[in-house]
Amino acid sequence: MANSKQARKRARQAEGRRVLKASQRSMVRTYVKRVIKAIQSGDHGQAMDAFKAAQPVIDRIADKDVMSKKKAARMKSRLNKRIKALAA
């Protein structure tokens, strides 16, 4: 438990950041699930639309350091690879 005023403030800030980042990670997962669902349905057009919607969200969350830029790039690459395989 935080004993000083400064430590209590840092604990409050850390909790606020934790809640915000958890929400943002959840949003990214939702967008990714939409893309995966569209891929599994076999609809290339719908999958591309979902991917185009997910891409800026993933980039924005990576810019805010909620997830690393490399993880974001890997995620986009793997989704795009699955969409391309669907078209072939």
- Residue pLDDT, tens place only, 3-48: 899 999 999 999 999 999 999 999 999 999 999 999 999 999 999 9
Residue 36, Cβ neighbours under 10 Å: how many? 15
Q: Give the dihedral sign, CA 65/55/57/39.
A: negative
Q: Please tell me the pTM assigned to this model.
A: 0.88
pLDDT digits (tens, 9 = 90+) for 55-67: 999 999 999 999 9
What whole-number distance in Å separates Cα of residue 75 and Cα of residue 81?
10
